[in-house]
Each structure stands twice: as structure tokens, then as C-alpha cells.
Amino acid sequence: MLLLCNYYVTYRCNAYCEFCHFAVHENFKNTPHASLGDFKSNVKQLAELGVKFIDLTGGEPLLNPHIAEMAGYARSLKMQTSITTNTLLYPKFADALKGKVNLLHFSLDSPDREEHDKIRKVKCYDKVFESIEIAKSIGEFPDILFTVTNETYRKLPRMHEIAIKHDLILLVNPVFSYFGNPGLNDEALDFIEEYVDGKSNIYLNKGFIKLRRNGGNDIDKPTCKAVSRVIVISPENEIILPCYHFGKETIKIDKPIKEIRNSGKIKYYKSMEGKFDFCQGCTVNCYFEPSFAFPFNQYGIASLPSKFKYGYTKLIKQKIKKIVNGN
């Protein structure tokens, strides 16, 4: 059952993050943005196939000039939308995006301006806080997304203080191992898990931590459901298989997606979910969160308390804001 679409609306980026790869490769700079026409056609079909969540991702998703219309169209089909942005362009798009993004995430990699800008290799620290103020002023509820690395995990308490100061939730996003990045070591995992316990205004999917402690995906007993639960679409209007991070093959969307999903090629990749050699030890968050859902497993159980807390906290904050605004 398809749950999630990771829709790459662009591969371009305006930052050069140390833990990412998009902006450092020359071949991404002049790639096309996803077209609005293809997007609408694909998303309408996905909604009919039961997809409930869509992550408008990149690259930097706000580089796609149609991003607000894309988010609004997905919301009109009753999809839950998410966007993660470095915020360099958020002030430009804030009004247009208002009410169209369920999960709006602002990336912040350090409480220190110099370190954050060094990691991003572009000056965007101040833009994050400008964007927070703009978003809150128009009734939006962004989260601060902290991609934790082995070099920054001890900054977690100070990052939490920033979230509390701005009355936002801090999303703790453990860096995953791909494209040469080693992922988190045991010391970092211990520190993060111990710190988060019992604290408010902070979210950590403990299923991610448990998966890492267990060595990631096991190709003999795979947890990954990257093909059956997730569909990944590129800016070139292609389905990427089995996932973006280890994409081996693409299928051009030149026929109904339902027909493509019933093809022999998709069935083959479903049968090989989490079983390829490159799947061993994988911890890519984008695919394991939906993989934890069905059938219910140890990772799904580990993730439940934090998910309930996050949903409850967001709901309360939204209600309080409406009361304050007299809505």
C-alpha cells in the first residue's frame, strides 16, 4: 500500500551542505525543475492510488517557481504536505505558501552562526530566524530541523533552547549513512537518546535510533519497504527505483502510474526491497519512517510515543494561536 511520495521538485540547491550532495555536483546545477503540469497529473493519480503524504523535496524545493501552487494542489487533494527549506527563499514565498504546508521545516545545523554557515557554505543562519518570525506572524507553525552529525550532536541542548525560546518544536534528524557519510557513532546515539527523554518541544523518532543500534537494514531480514510504501518521482518525470539514494533504474512516466505500478519491473523491485547488497546497513530516514508503519514491528513500536507527543503538541499550539487571534 502506497503511503508516501517523495517528489523531487528540483535537484538544484543554493547551499553546499557538508552532509549533502546536491549542490557539490556540477551536474545538478542546470537540471530542470519539475513541471507544474506533470506534477498535477502525477499527484492526482497518486491521490487516487491512496497516497496520503507528499514530501516536496530537492535540492532546495523553494527554487521551483511553482512550489506554492504545487503544495496547494496537493492539499486540495487532501494530502498531507511537507517541505524542508534552508529558508533563503522563504521570505519571498511565505505568503504564497501560507496554509498549504502541513509540516514546514526550517533547517538549522548549529546554534552558532559561524558553524551553521560553515556547514551550509552560505550565509543563511540569520535568514532562518527572519523566516521564523515571518512564519509565526502569518500564523504558520514551522519546526526547526536539526540534522545531527558526529560533529554537532553535543550542541543539542543549545538547539533545544532555541526551539523553546521561539516556542517551536525541534526535530532531531539523525544523519544517515550514504554517499560516503558514516552516519552517527554510538556515543552520539547515547547522548541524543538520553537528552531527549522526557523533554518537551523536541521530537526524535526512536525507531531511527533503534534501527541504527541494530546495524541498519538487514538484507536477510529486511525492514525496508521503499518500493511498496513509497514512490519517488524525479524532476525529469521519472519513477526512481528502488529509492533515490541508491537509485539503480528509472521509469519514465509516459503512461498511467497505476499501470506502471503493476508492471513486472515494479514487482521485481518490490520482491527485492531491502535485499540488494547496497541495502545492507541502510538507515535512510526517508524510507524507513513509512517502512515502520505496516506490518507493525519493533521500530514502529519504538516510534509511537514520540509521534503521539509531536502530533499533540502541534495541535495544542495551533489551537492556542487561533484563540489568541480570535479565530
How many structural domains comprise the chain? Answer: 1
Which of these ranges, 11-20, 69-78, 180-189, 312-321, has the smallest mean pLDDT? 312-321
Q: Which residue range(s) make up the domain with 18? A: 4-325
pLDDT confidence tier of residue 312, bands split at 50, 70 and 90: confident
Q: Under 8 Å CB-to-CB from 323, ≥6 apart: which residues? A: none
Higher pLDDT, 267 or 323: 267
pLDDT at residue number 123? 92
Q: Which residues pair with 83 in a beta bridge?
A: 56, 104
Question: Span 117-134, mean pLDDT?
Answer: 93
pTM: 0.92
The CA distance from 98 to 67, in Å, is 12
Q: Is the dihedral of CA 174, 178, 181, 187 positive or negative?
A: positive
CATH number of the domain that 119 lies in?
Answer: 3.20.20.70
Q: How many Cα atoms are found within 13 Å in the side-chain-facing hemisphere of 18?
A: 17
| Spatial contact of 95 and 62, defined as CB atoms under 8 Å apart | no
pLDDT 10s digits, 277-293: 999 999 998 888 888 87
- What is the band of 39 on the pLDDT scale with cuts at 50, 70, 90? very high
Give the pLDDT band (50/70/90) at residue 245. confident
